[in-house]
Amino acid sequence: MASLAGCTSSGTEGDSSDSTSKSQQTTSSSNETTGNSNTVLMVTEGSQYYFDPIGLFVETGDTVSFKIRSGNHSATAYQKGNGPASVTRIPDGAQAFDSGTLSERGATFQHTFETTGTFDYYCIPHKTLGMVGRIVVGKPRGPAEENMPPDGNVPKSGTIVDNGLVSYSEFSR
C-alpha cells in the first residue's frame, strides 16, 4: 500500500507557557514529497485551494507538519477568536494553533497534538473558498463531531479513523 501525506491538527491540554509551545514554523528547501505520514500539504492548483490529505488520523502526542507545496496558506484551528473563526471546532481543553500565512514554497509549520479528539482547521486566506481539513487524534470527540465546518466539507471522522488518512483527490471525487 502506498504511503500518502497526512494532515492533522491538535492542541495541548491545559495552559502552556510560550517557552513550552508545541507549535513551530520553519522554512525548508526540501523536496515537496515526503514519506512522513504526518505531513499535510497546503496547495494552490489553478482555482483549487486545499489541504492534502484533507483528513488525517494521529495518536495523542504526535506532531503534524503543514507544508507549503504552492501558494500562500495558513493552518489555523477553528477556535472562536483564533483568526477569523466564529466557532470552536476543537476539543475542550485543547490549545488552538495558527501558523500565520506562509508563502515560501517548502515553508513548514509543526504542531504537536496533546489532546484527544477531532480538530477542524482552515486556511485564513482561503477559508471562504472551502479550504478546510480535519485531524482525528486518538478517537473522535468534541464539537467538530456535531456537523460539518461552516466553510466547507471534510471527511467523516469514522472514515478517517478507518483509513488513517483521506487524500484530497479521493474526497473530492
Residue 97, sorted as left (phi over 0), alpha (psi -120 to 50) or beta, turns out to be beta
What are the residue boundaries of the structural domains of the chain, listed by start? 18-171
Q: Please give the CATH architecture assigned to the domain spanning 18-171.
A: Sandwich (2.60)
Per-residue pLDDT of 93-137, as tens digits, reads 999 999 999 999 999 999 999 999 999 999 999 999 999 999 999
Q: What is the pTM of this model?
A: 0.81
Q: Is the pLDDT of residue 168 over 50?
A: yes
Q: What is the pLDDT of residue 23?
A: 61
